[in-house]
Structure 1
Amino acid sequence: MRRAVSLIFSNLVDKSKTLSRNAPKSFPSPRPFPKCPFRYLQTLSQNTPAHPSPAPASLPSRQRKLRELSELEEAFEDATTTDEILSAFEALEPSLAPDDQKLGLACLKVGQHLESISFADHQKTLEFALRAVSILDRDSKPSISVAMSLHLLGAVHYTLKRFNDSLGFLNRANRILTALEKEGTCDFDIRSVVHAVQLQLANTKTAMGRREEALVNLRRCLDLKVAILEPDSRELGAAHRDLAEAHASVLNFKDALPLCLKALEIHEKQLGPNSVDVAHDRRLLGVIYTGLEEHEKALEVNEKAQKVLKSWGMGPDLLNAEIDQANIQIALGKFDEAIKTLKGVVEQTEKNSETRALVFVSMAKAMCCQEKFADSKRCLEISCEILKERESISPEMVAESYTEISSLYESMNEFATSISLLKRALSMLERLPQEQHLEGNVSAKIGWLLLLTGKVELAVPYLESAAERLKESFGPKHFGVGYIYNNLGAAYLEMDRPQSAAQMFALAKDIMDVSLGPHHADSIEACQSLANAYSTMGSYVLALEFQQRVVDAWGSYGPNGTNELREAERRLDELKKKACGSLSDMVLRKALPQESDTLHTGSSQH
């Protein structure tokens, strides 16, 4: 069981590594803000013409002020550059009351512009966003302008890495937009604003490590684009690919596949089979097929992608695609071909480049599979030397690479080196909230290796931390959480804490029953562990109940589960004997007089 769990976590880390290295980022970066409809939302006097004609010198003071205000508003609306917008705002601001809705809309426009260009002074952007909300949200009635202001606040706090605050503002914006959609009273087409809020929610949740939740928001983004865009438009293809990448980033390859195929279909129809977009679709498709262990298909689409990338002269992408090819060849057992591919790639890389480090990791993997351990270790040493210099530059990539290298050292029984590399990776990931899911996987792997090497008490805090990280990232019923609870149960059992162990095994079993099904081999083993824990506690009634479930589950496998069934039945017989022995002892103790009773009787007779 422990070896199976090790492979699960190794695969989680390795697949995450492959995806992040070879596919675009998991989630798309925020799109430009929906433009503040300043003219549309402002309430100008009906008597004020949009383009006032020159007035006579004797124009009354009130009308003259209205004309001047209209000109200032017109100048502000026409401003496009940052300097123009800020200058026009400074000219307009004194003419408006502090609580004027027009001032709120003007603050919104300035804030949106500053955020869209990643203005260096984030505090200034935040001030405009706060002013916009304070003015526009005075009556607490849901409106499109308030939703846009809250979206801006959420985006600014995201930029400042204040993710909890960002999420709060965005959730309120989402509630307002939902209410407006239900009412249907807004003349303004709010779908672009809804899309912007949903996309920012996805990015914020991703930054918090809550990737499963982010998928819901990205699905909503795609649905909106399907409703808004022309069928089979290029942008719609990109939206399908974005969501496919997001699913692949959490190893949900089954759901990623149809989305990526749809993106490929759209891009081939609109751009032709030799376009760059089609090549990127095929590269992602190769990652997905690899995750589904359909390696022949992965190799086929990879080769097609390489041809297009080569024709467009896209060197870096082509090198990564060739590394993909080598990794697929390794998965197919074509180790010599993989090494040949990688030797061709390494000749095209710079001496201390990240790509070169990745090439040597893949080469080490191929050599390790050939049991050429000395050569494999030398490749890993070269890779680590390069990666060490890149820790502060590309911490995500380096941390992921360390986890992959660690797995190779583990396969060569170099456990101390493996744990050391994982700890280095963990120290970097702890400073990257968006990598919380990988932090959980790495922490779980450290805990498992410590447990394997007999350092049980040291393993427990890593396993406990891993469970919390993965619950936050994937939800409490994710199968990875179940494996961690199972390892925690094993640790507690070795620490002579059978009650704590039984609690962990019970949690593991419940999760695996839901996520994998009660007849999955790992679910059955969790049930077996629970039976063992109850047996250790002397709770034979419960132990017999769960052992019988193990027997029934293996029995459903037919001839394929013969050996497992025989072992489960043997344990059931042993438990019955223990239970009978325990019952006999208890009956005997009750039947025989206690020593104190004998002494008491004796003293009475005297």
Structure 2
Amino acid sequence: MKEVVMMRNKGEDNEGNLVSEKENDSVDRRTGIKDKTQFASAKSVSSLQWKRPSHSHLESEGSPKSNPNERPPIDKRRERNLRKPNGVIPIRKQKNFALGVKFHNGTEDLLEAGLDNPDLGPFLLKQTRDLISSGENPQKALELALRAVKSFEITGNGKPNLDLVMCLHVIAAIYCSLGQYDEAIPSLERSIEIPVIEEGQNHALAKFVGCMQLGDTYAMIGQIENSILCYTAGLEIQRQVLGEMDTRFGETCRYLAEAHVQALQFDEAEKLCQMALNIHKKNGTPASLEEAADRRLMALICDSKGDYEAALEHYVLAGMAMAANGQEIDVASIDCSIGDTYLSLARYDEAVFSYQKALTVFKSTKGENHPTVASVFVRLADLYNKVGKLRESKSYCENALRLYAKPNPGIPSEEIASGLIDISAIFESMNELEQALKLLQKALKIYSNAPGQQSTIAGIEAQMGVIYYMMGNYSASYNSFSSAISKLRASGEKKSAFLGIALNQMGLACVQRYAIGEAAELFEEARSILEKEYGPCHPDTLGIYSNLAGTYDAMGRLEDAIEILEYVVGVREEKLGTANPDVDDEKRRLTELLTEAGRVRSRKSRSLQTFLDTNPQTTINDAIKVL
């Protein structure tokens, strides 16, 4: 999830740095992007800035010396209850003798008949902010804010009212803090409609904040596509008002790029991240933490696209900038990422050196029992597993599990779950399926049904479906895939490549359960998705074609099966050559079908497995990855 922070002019800038995908407590394990949402209450649009810290940044810790005028965030994913932060002066009970009847807490209330009083809306909004700051009774704060909206509507005379916009933002933030995200969305949509950009920067800023906060809310409920649309609208507002060379525009470019990375849309993310880097270059500023964050994100994008050399270059530059600014822990996190890239390049000795270097820093700064240390153990276990040193790999896995079993107080449970998923993948590759399944079940229990984690939960369930399939428990595999796919559909990932692959694997489970008709429907849907996402010549798409051909043949649709296999054989011959074993296998299958087409009456009954893509377990294991 991402965050919109509306900062006061007098408040300090809580800018930080992009965090490691396994080091920080709330990092998305697919992308390395921090996963936290903040909404700040606002006093007025004129007191806000365009400044927006990236959701991939570390946040500075609150302290008793914090500016008491700066309002704290009122919503975090893992902190549903409002609480009083450090450095906030207790709010005194106030009176306004002109307003009438008293509340129980000693402040003054107005009867419904007084909603046309122009002083009532600002008064109620102030009372709302005071309750939020004190961390007391969020439900009462919501009631006050809703009354303030009514007052602003009555006294606004139909004109765009920025106080009303701010009140709607606060209402949405309270709903989010209560976990009622669906209730927050209508308020934010309305807040976006009210401001008129032509009226000046204050109106533009109000519309911008509404777009970004709405995007955050969609992301919290897993609707990444809608989230990206909102962020894009916010970026366009900044483009119109600030221009493309403003540093604040660059920060929002990075923000949107990170959202695209979470959606696995790496080309779009790369363009936006490059725009942010170009702004740094144009302004000629020395290596800053902001530029380091941009370079680190670009490295992550390059790594995800398989351009490992470019990723290394960006990681090294980011590490140098972090070191120049005294960010020792961030340098260690980057060393872990560099180790991951070396591992992808099969440069194992250099990867071990990078991991050990990071491990030394984490042990000295965080303690030897910190989960961050365990995350490095997992990386080393993965490396030794890949080079065939299974004893060393298991030893590191056991050390990591020991630390995850007794985490330090205050460690987010999601960080533990992420580590368990990684270790499960290692045990699965060792063919220790029971142990891998147990770890996934523990991770699933930790995530439960947390908002904004539906895609992650779906990934875990899909991987469990893979393991059940490999164990021969096809009914359990089918149920796991069914649950995962329903979550992916509900979260808006109706056309993602991951959904297509999951549908294919569920189709294979249906084949094993002799549900041939359902298998064909699943293969057809998977084909339509991967044709759009990957193209018709991608190996994953061809694998689905092959499975669909076998299913059609089992259903008696011989001509359809022949047509598909002819295409698959033609593409494989063009891409792999005629002597490739995969081509020979499918040519043999095609020959058998053509022979049968010429002798329909003497057709032999054969198992559907003969026509399915060879070694489906390997296909599943390689295809499904936990999000």
Task: Name the TM-score, length of structure 2 as normaliser.
Answer: 0.76
CA distance in 1, matches of 2:316, 2:98: 60
CA distance in 2, matches of 1:90, 1:24: 50
Match of 2:44 among 35, 44, 50: 35
Report if the CA contact (8 A) 2:46-2:202 is conserved: no
Task: Show the counterpart of 2:279.
Answer: 266
Structure-2 change in CA distance of 1:19 and 1:431 (3 Å)? closer
Superposed counterparts of 1:389-404, under 5 Å: 389-390=406-407, 393-404=411-422
Deviates more, 1:565-574 or 1:291-300: 565-574
Equivalents in 1 of 2:110, 2:518: separation in Å?
69
CA contact (8 A) 2:132 2:138 kept: no
* Separation in 2, partners of 1:21, 1:380: 20
Query: 2:121 matched to 1:105?
Result: yes
Aligned to 2:350: 337
Contact 1:20 1:249 in 2 (8 A): no
Tell me by how many angstroms 1:237 deviates: 2.4
Greater Rg over alpha carbons, structure: 1
SS at match of 2:114: coil
The alignment status of 1:281 with 2:294, answered yes or no, reads yes
1:73 corresponds to: none
Distance 1:314 1:120, change over 3 A: farther
Q: Residue 577 of structure 2: SS of its match in structure 1?
A: helix
* Distance in 1 (alpha carbons) for counterparts of 2:401 and 2:449: 20
| Structure 1 residue aligned with 2:482 | 464
Question: Against the structure 1 CA distance between its residues 187 and 241, is the aligned structure 2 distance closer, same or farther, given a 3 Å change threshold?
Answer: closer
Q: What is residue 192 of structure 1 aligned with on the other side? A: 205
Structure-2 separation of matches of 1:509 and 1:126: 48
Indicate the residue corresponding to 1:61 in structure 2: none
Question: Secondary structure, in 3 states, of the residue corresponding to 1:215?
Answer: helix
Distance change >3 Å, CA 483–CA 335, structure 1 → 2: same
Q: For residues 220-278 of structure 1, give each alpha carbon's deviation from its aligned partner in whole angstroms, at most 9, with x where no partner exists.
A: 22222222336533322221221122222232222212222222332355473332222
Which one of 94, 106, 131 corresponds to residue 87 of structure 1? 94
Query: 1:118 and 1:215 mapped to 2: Cα distance?
Result: 33
Call closer, same or farther: CA 1:194–1:491 in 2, change over 3 Å.
same
Q: Distance in 1 between matches of 2:575 and 2:123?
A: 67
Once the two structures are TM-superposed, the CA of residue 181 in structure 1 deviates from its matched residue by 4.5
Find the aligned partners of 2:245 and 2:401 in 1 and give their Cα distance.
Answer: 45
Report the equivalent of 2:181: 163
Larger mean CA deviation between 114-123 and 533-542 belongs to 114-123
The answer as to whether partners of 1:22 and 1:320 remain within 8 angstroms in 2 is: no
**Residue by residue, what CA displacement relative to the aligned partner does 1:541-578 show, whole Å, maximum 9, x if unpaired?**
43334334434544554737965444333323322333
Q: Aligned runs of 1:104-503 on 2, under 5 Å?
A: 105-107=121-123, 109-110=125-126, 113-114=129-130, 117=133, 119-137=135-153, 143-144=160-161, 145-174=163-192, 176-177=193-194, 181=196, 189-229=202-242, 231-270=244-283, 272-348=285-361, 349=363, 350-390=367-407, 393-503=411-521
Q: Give the counterpart letter for 1:569 in structure 2.
A: K
Large movers: runs of 4+ above 6 Å:
13-18
Determine if contact 2:31/2:261 at 8 Å carries over to the other structure. Answer: no
State the distance in 2 between where 1:90 and 1:318 align: 58
**Per the alignment, do residues 560 and 122 of structure 1 end up closer, same or farther by CA in structure 2, a change over 3 Å counting?**
farther
**CA distance in structure 2 between the partners assigned to 1:32 and 1:146 by the alignment:** 13
Instruction: Identify which range, 406-415 or 339-348, moves more after superposition.
Output: 339-348
Residue 119 of structure 1 contacts residue 125 of structure 1 at CA under 8 Å; is this kept in 2?
A: no
- The residue identity in structure 2 corresponding to 1:285 is M
Equivalent-residue separation in structure 1 for 2:513 and 2:526 (angstroms) = 18
Indicate how the Cα distance of structure 1 residues 319 and 193 shifts in structure 2: closer, same or farther if over 3 A, else same: same
- After superposing the two structures, state which structure 1 stretch, 565-574 or 462-471, moved more: 565-574
Paired AA for residue 118 in structure 2: K
Q: How far off its partner does 1:103 sit? A: 4.7
The residue type paired with residue 131 of structure 1 is R
Q: Quick one: distance in 2 between partners of 1:111 and 1:557?
A: 68
C-alpha distance in 2, partners of 1:37/1:98? 27
What amino acid is aligned across from residue 431 of structure 1 in structure 2? N
Shift of 1:286: 1.9
* Bigger helix fraction: 1
8 Å CA contact 2:41, 2:170 repeated in 1: no
Is the CA contact 1:207–1:433 (under 8 Å) kept in the aligned structure 2?
Answer: yes
Matched, 1:507 2:525: yes
Q: Secondary structure at the match of 1:33?
A: coil
> Structure 2: any 5+ residue segments left out of the alignment?
1-20, 48-87, 100-107, 605-627
Distance 1:515 1:448, change over 3 A: same
Equivalent pair of 2:478/2:506 in contact (CA under 8 Å): yes
1:146 deviates by: 4.5
> In 2, are the aligned partners of 1:447 and 1:463 still within 8 Å (CA)?
yes
Q: Deviations over 1:261-302 (max 9, x none)?
A: 222332355473332222222222222221122112222222
Change beyond 3 A, Cα 1:373–1:169: same
Cα deviation for residue 490 of structure 1 reads 0.6
SS in 2 for 1:363: helix
Alpha-carbon RMSD: 3.4
User: 2:67: which partner in 1?
Assistant: none
C-alpha change, 1:127 and 1:545, in structure 2 (3 Å) is: same
Query: Does the C-alpha gap of structure 1 residues 120 and 525 become closer, same or farther in structure 2, counting only changes over 3 Å?
Result: same
Separation in structure 2 between the aligned mates of residue 37 and residue 407 of structure 1, nearest angstrom:
51
Letter in 2 for 1:434: G
Rounded Cα–Cα distance in structure 2 between residues aligned with 1:226 and 1:89: 43
The residue aligned with 1:55 is none
Q: Aligned partner of 1:99: which letter?
A: L
- 1:574 counterpart = 2:583: no
TM-score (norm 1): 0.78
Moved more, 462-471 or 541-550: 541-550
Say if 1:207 and 1:585 are closer, same or farther in 2 by CA, change over 3 A. Answer: closer
Per-residue CA distance 1:341-362 (angstroms, 9 max, x = gap)? 2223222311111221111111
AA at the equivalent of 1:83: I
- Secondary structure of the structure 2 residue equivalent to 1:161: coil
Aligned residues: 527
Query: In terms of mean alpha carbon deviation, does 432-441 or 25-34 score higher?
Result: 25-34
